[in-house]
A and B are shown apart, each in its own frame.
Chain A
């Protein structure tokens, strides 16, 4: 038992999550730059994709990232009211809320899906966000993919679909 636990610990130690971060150009990407010019250190697990506005983020891009093996997602935009494009971040929040619910329903741990705000003046906050997101993703371990075989083997019910039935 102890050995098993240790093995698990070792695995977790080696687990170096890959996190895809979608950052809006005007606030959060600028905050990430500010974290840099302030030399605030944070884990190197995030891979940033710069987008003009979180409103640009089509939900399918998040699913694509998970499908390709991202262990976690960070979407960060401007604070409510600060959006460079007036209200793109509000639309993003709505879309992400729905998407998160859908994904959690289909078995993705909430820790993997992170949505937040960060202004161009908040370099420190950005570094903290990255640390926190990395911790959250580490706490749930590597992402195994949607309904992987072990899940099915573990007895997750998949309804039988007979000919002529539609979902």
Chain B
């Protein structure tokens, strides 16, 4: 058994790190300060850029982490200090008394209404109240109450005691005491998160004086159906619907007057989210966003921004709000705005939302100092760009917003990467891994029972219930033939609802379940687990999708959406009534990673996996390792990249467990998770020309790290003049003695143009790094030649995170900035005399300016590699609209591809800088390790089966099966299925003329019943069809 790891923080980052480590077979102590797991993400209403319901995607993750056999969760627990060395830390923890026994409390809630005390609800940002005994949040995990000792009458004055009296489980324990204890740990992952600041720091925004000025986190709660206003957008002062709302970007961030000069990176995109959701709730409400630059630099964010701009009534106003005063009517607010073009303006609003930034809490910074982990000037962990996720103290790793401003996918990437690093200290025993067991659980025998279906209809807050009349649907569902029980539930995915399903199964002796909620693609495993818990075979479940393909797409037709939901449920009943109990099989897992791409990303992933103890085969098409990074001179922080890259290559080459296939090209990829095979074409040596011997390598997982490429501009005379170069060429040139056609010290006037090839109609994404790269190059040039006049023509300066410091430095050095609009781009002509002529409009005066720069530097877009399509087809994993590899889920699975066992790292996944690529590669290693650590994987249960009586051994099935999973046994004259190889696609079932092959989970009779029921006018079709 490996040594345990302590993970501090039970938000999304901590949950991901804990889950990855636990999947590697490592015991985890997950330490959370509050009474429930979930962190900030649990407070969010929806997530950008898909507007997915935050709770819906988070809840399954929390539940599976909390229930993982290798995870021990300590809530209400804080870290005091750490002694010892990596591999043998002694971690001192302090658990505050909950005054409720976590083992005994069932979360029934009987005590909650009886408490006579009212206190501010922390989860709802103190905008509502709950009792001194309360659940921290409606979907708390563990689903257990807690008592606030400062307000409880029993604990403060020895009166009351009503909660103890009403509790049927003797769970209330007023005598609990604080507990201090020590756990041994090999390493520590620190994921303590952030606080939202802004309001209280920026006095002129009047957050404290005006109740109708709220922070973004408060607004999240206001938008949320489970929040203080039930999802109605109303003003805190009078409960009136807000008709005019202003969002103020950069509240507290990018502010030279405070100590928060950095950009918080997430606020622009979440404000766009707020704007879009506000318009969904209240179509006629005016939504104004006041911003300096819109920084939608993440994957898919630019399209989101474009969508908001096209949405009627969402106004983007580029100006700085200087002051907020009381307006003309009570509760109204007057904004004083400095408008770059028009001087000053005033505007009145009902509600003002401050897009507050991300900062570490004082407490977190103090703890880090106690841990002897170096922090930066902003109080975040001081991260080395070449060694992201590590801290200054060996054996302690940071992930999520303690590392700096991060959005959710970045936090998740950090977490998987930190797990890869922390796991190295836990000393995995590759030959003795925690093994998942199959089919051990005994399920109730249901075969000979009468069919008794239970139907559960989810409100999903207002996501479903806001459009579909779920009460009516569940009432009608009770009348569907075979249905024994039907009910509607606020959030079916919450842990108490999971238990409720179990209770109903027992109560009504249910043997089939229909869940009408969201998409089975994300939530089927959760509900399968829930019914398995209750002793029912998990395949006796059917999910009907009444949210993603119901309420969300038919919001203007509530009656039709309601009827459709009912019809789908009825068809679900028809389908599930013939479902059979199924079991999974086992398949061998090859404990080797196959990495495609030998650039910085591939090398890093290889090295981390090697260090974890897993063999790696690294394939690189070029003869030399290093990839795109060989062209980089310096990092965005200005440090030389080449020495780091050289060391990385050396370490990979010298590692015993890593085999390198340089100069090899991929001919074909086959297989599936646990068993991938790559066919490689080796480099042909001179003497063996013509010989074509393929090399085959096998592994359990594949990491795609094939990189990207720089756009070769067609515009701005790039092809006509030596004086026009790209930022990458400038960077390369500055690093070499005569790398530039023009001697850098002779340059007098230099212009840079941003967004060349990015954010265009046919390439509507932001290349993310170009702004910071331009700033870095401009600063380097200016330092080298202070006389040079440098001007950057930009559309939006997207120096997110700490790169804002670089922006500030550039301005302080006297570098000029001039904004242009995409409709009015600068124009360049290469003159005959070798000079350049550049024309652009000066935005303040509107004057047309013509200059003759010595050098023009273009920020060329980052493109996906042209062969991505070919590779994606070989891998059977999709690309996104821009031809970068598509992740399995934009928020919570940013490193996984849509195909099991294939992971993504570096530029193949989308534009990112060197440091971000390294972090994602470590994450890919962490995710890969969570699969490689298993001795065998479980096959799926939904495989094909042959009815020997009907089979005519024609061989059609064999011909169409891509996996060679079904073959005709010539001796027996019948087709046979290999359950391990079968992937459950059903191609054999589709082609079988005598209907001898059927596919479990999608059986012919099930689909026929579903069709008939969907098209029937009433229940008669269903009633006359037979149940099992």
Chain A residues engaging chain B, CB cutoff 8 angstroms: 18, 20, 25-27, 29-30, 32-42, 44, 47-53, 55-58, 61, 64-65, 68-70, 78, 81-88, 91-92, 95, 119-122, 127
Contact A48 B986 (CB under 8 A): no
Q: How far is the CB of B875 from chain A (nearest CB, A)?
A: 11
Docked complex Cα distance between A139 and B245 (Å): 44
The contact string, 1 if C-beta is below 8 Å from chain A, for chain B 60-75, is 0000000000000000
Instruction: Collect the chain A residues with CB atoms within 8 Å of residue B872's CB.
Output: 82
Interface residues of B in 995-1022 (CB under 8 A from A): 995, 999, 1002, 1004, 1007-1008, 1010-1012, 1014-1016
Contact of A55 among B521, B878, B898, B987 (CB under 8 A): B987
Binding stretch for chain A, among B428-436, B442-450, B545-553, B799-807: B545-553
Apart from A41-B555, A52-B985, A53-B985, what are 14 other A-B pairs with CB-CB below 8 Å?
A: A30-B521, A36-B519, A37-B52, A39-B51, A41-B556, A51-B1002, A56-B989, A64-B1008, A64-B1012, A69-B1015, A81-B873, A88-B986, A119-B878, A127-B553
Interface centre among A18, A36, A41, A95 (most CB of B within 10 A): A36
Contact A41 B519 (CB under 8 A): no
B954 within 8 A of A: no
Contact A41 B553 (CB under 8 A): yes
Closest to B549 in A: A32
Contact B1015 A18 (CB under 8 A): yes
B567 within 8 A of A: yes
Contact B553 A36 (CB under 8 A): yes
Contact of A52 among B567, B942, B1004, B1012 (CB under 8 A): B942
The contact string, 1 if C-beta is below 8 Å from chain A, for chain B 518-553, is 011100000000000000000000000101111011
Contact of A88 among B556, B962, B995 (CB under 8 A): B962
Docked complex Cα distance between A119 and B337 (Å): 45
Binding stretch for chain A, among B557-565, B598-606, B629-637, B819-827: B557-565
B683 within 8 A of A: no
- Given the interface contacts A47-B568, A92-B990, does A56 sit within 8 Å of B549 by beta carbon? no
Q: Can you list the 3 inter-chain pairs with the closest CB atoms, starting with the nearest?
A: A56-B986, A36-B548, A85-B985
Contact B552 A37 (CB under 8 A): yes
Closest to A78 in B: B878
The contact string, 1 if C-beta is below 8 Å from chain A, for chain B 40-53, is 00000000001110
B960 within 8 A of A: yes
Contact B987 A91 (CB under 8 A): yes
Contact A53 B521 (CB under 8 A): no
Docked complex Cα distance between A147 and B105 (Å): 66
Instruction: Collect the chain B residues with CB atoms within 8 Å of residue A38's CB.
Output: 50-51
Instruction: Collect the chain B residues with CB atoms within 8 Å of residue A37's CB.
Output: 50-52, 548, 552
Docked complex Cα distance between A51 and B520 (Å): 12
Q: How far is the CB of A61 from chain B (nearest CB, A)?
A: 6
Contact B899 A84 (CB under 8 A): yes
Contact of B1002 among A26, A56, A78 (CB under 8 A): A56
Instruction: Collect the chain B residues with CB atoms within 8 Å of residue A92's CB.
Output: 990
B983 within 8 A of A: yes
Contact of B1015 among A36, A53, A65, A85 (CB under 8 A): A65
Instruction: Collect the chain B residues with CB atoms within 8 Å of residue A29's CB.
Output: 519, 521
Closest to A42 in B: B553
- Given the interface contacts A44-B557, A50-B520, does A84 sit within 8 Å of B999 by beta carbon? no
- Given the interface contacts A30-B521, A39-B280, A68-B1012, does A55 sit within 8 Å of B960 by beta carbon? yes
Instruction: Collect the chain B residues with CB atoms within 8 Å of residue A25's CB.
Output: 521
- Given the interface contacts A44-B554, A61-B1007, does A91 sit within 8 Å of B991 by beta carbon? yes
The contact string, 1 if C-beta is below 8 Å from chain A, for chain B 471-510, is 0000000000000000000000000000000000000000
Q: How far is the CB of A41 from chain B (nearest CB, A)?
A: 6
- Given the interface contacts A39-B280, A47-B571, does A33 sit within 8 Å of B545 by beta carbon? yes
Instruction: Collect the chain A residues with CB atoms within 8 Å of residue B899's CB.
Output: 84
Q: How far is the CB of B944 from chain A (nearest CB, A)?
A: 10
Contact B1007 A49 (CB under 8 A): yes
Docked complex Cα distance between A84 and B992 (Å): 21
Docked complex Cα distance between A36 and B571 (Å): 21
Docked complex Cα distance between A108 and B769 (Å): 55
Docked complex Cα distance between A87 and B873 (Å): 11
Contact A47 B521 (CB under 8 A): no
Contact A41 B554 (CB under 8 A): yes
B876 within 8 A of A: yes
Q: How far is the CB of B1019 from chain A (nearest CB, A)?
A: 15
Docked complex Cα distance between A47 and B873 (Å): 30
Docked complex Cα distance between A50 and B1004 (Å): 13
Instruction: Collect the chain B residues with CB atoms within 8 Å of residue A36's CB.
Output: 519, 547-550, 552-553
Contact of B898 among A44, A65, A120 (CB under 8 A): A120
Docked complex Cα distance between A3 and B95 (Å): 81
B880 within 8 A of A: yes
Closest to B547 in A: A36
Instruction: Collect the chain A residues with CB atoms within 8 Å of residue B984's CB.
Output: 52
Instruction: Collect the chain A residues with CB atoms within 8 Å of residue B520's CB.
Output: 50
- Given the interface contacts A86-B962, A91-B991, does A40 sit within 8 Å of B986 by beta carbon? no
Instruction: Collect the chain B residues with CB atoms within 8 Å of residue A40's CB.
Output: 553
Docked complex Cα distance between A47 and B574 (Å): 14
Q: How far is the CB of A11 from chain B (nearest CB, A)?
A: 18
Contact A56 B1015 (CB under 8 A): no
B881 within 8 A of A: yes
Contact of A70 among B52, B869, B880, B1015 (CB under 8 A): B1015
Contact A49 B1010 (CB under 8 A): yes
Instruction: Collect the chain B residues with CB atoms within 8 Å of residue A122's CB.
Output: 881
Q: How far is the CB of A70 from chain B (nearest CB, A)?
A: 6
Contact of A61 among B564, B886, B1011 (CB under 8 A): B1011
Instruction: Collect the chain B residues with CB atoms within 8 Å of residue A44's CB.
Output: 553-554, 557, 560-561, 564
Contact B1011 A20 (CB under 8 A): yes
Docked complex Cα distance between A122 and B881 (Å): 8
Q: How far is the CB of B465 from chain A (nearest CB, A)?
A: 16
Interface residues of B in 942-970 (CB under 8 A from A): 942, 960, 962-963
A-B contact pairs, 26 of them (CB 8 A): A20-B1015, A25-B521, A33-B548, A36-B519, A36-B549, A36-B550, A37-B50, A39-B280, A40-B553, A41-B553, A44-B560, A44-B561, A47-B568, A48-B549, A49-B1007, A49-B1014, A51-B986, A55-B987, A58-B989, A58-B991, A65-B1011, A82-B878, A86-B876, A86-B963, A87-B962, A95-B990
Instruction: Collect the chain A residues with CB atoms within 8 Å of residue B1015's CB.
Output: 18, 20, 65, 68-70
Contact A64 B521 (CB under 8 A): no
Closest to A119 in B: B878
Docked complex Cα distance between A119 and B898 (Å): 12
Contact A39 B962 (CB under 8 A): no
Instruction: Collect the chain B residues with CB atoms within 8 Å of residue A27's CB.
Output: 878
Closest to B52 in A: A37
Contact A64 B557 (CB under 8 A): no
Q: How far is the CB of B1010 from chain A (nearest CB, A)?
A: 6
Interface centre among B564, B876, B942 (most CB of A within 10 A): B876
The contact string, 1 if C-beta is below 8 Å from chain A, for chain B 256-295, is 0000000000000000000000001000000000000000
Contact B554 A56 (CB under 8 A): no
Q: How far is the CB of A9 from chain B (nearest CB, A)?
A: 21
- Given the interface contacts A37-B51, A68-B1015, does A47 sit within 8 Å of B1007 by beta carbon? no
Closest to B543 in A: A50
Contact A84 B51 (CB under 8 A): no
Closest to B1015 in A: A68
